[in-house]
Amino acid sequence: MAKTVTAPLTGKALLQKLKTNNLTKRKLAKDSGYYSVTKGGETRVNLAEFYDAVLAAKGIALEPEFAKKDRRGREATYRVSVHQNGQIVIGSAYTEAMGLKPGDVYEIKLGYKHIRLIQFDGNKAEMTEEDEQ
C-alpha cells in the first residue's frame, strides 16, 4: 500500500507553484506533493491526481454535475442489458443527464443495432390514442 508523504498543494497555491517553476511535469507534481511512497521505499508520482488538481484550481470540471451527486443505488455505467421480459430500462441518472422530463413524448426509431429517441414535434393533443399506448 502506498503512503502519501506530504499534503499536496491545491487551489491558488498550486497555480502559483506552476507560474514560478520551469521544472518537468513529474518534478513539478512531486514538488507539489502529488506523490506516494510504497512499502519498498519507491517514490511514485501521481500525475493523474496532479492534473485533476490543476484543472480544479483553474475552475475546469471534467465530470458532469449528475455524476457528482450523492445518490443511492448504482453509479451510471452507460451500459444496460435486456431483461428476461424483453425490456430495457434506462435509469434516472441517464434521463436527468439528457434533460428528459416526465410527460415528454419521444418517437422511437429503430436502426440496425441502435435505437434513436426523437423528441415528438407538436402537441400531445395531436397524438392519436394508438400513439399513446
Tens digit of pLDDT per residue, the chain (133 long)? 455 456 888 888 888 888 877 778 888 888 888 888 888 888 888 888 888 888 888 887 766 655 555 555 566 677 788 899 988 888 887 888 788 888 888 888 988 888 888 888 765 444 444 444 4
We find that the CATH architecture of domain 74-132 is: Ribbon (2.10)
Amino acid at 15: L
Number of neighbours of residue 116 by Cβ within 10 angstroms:
10
3-state DSSP helix/strand/coil % of the chain, to nearest 5? 35, 15, 55
What are 111's three cell numbers?
Answer: 436502426
CA distance 36 to 108: 51
Q: Enumerate the CATH 2.10.260 domain ranges in the chain, comma separated.
A: 74-132
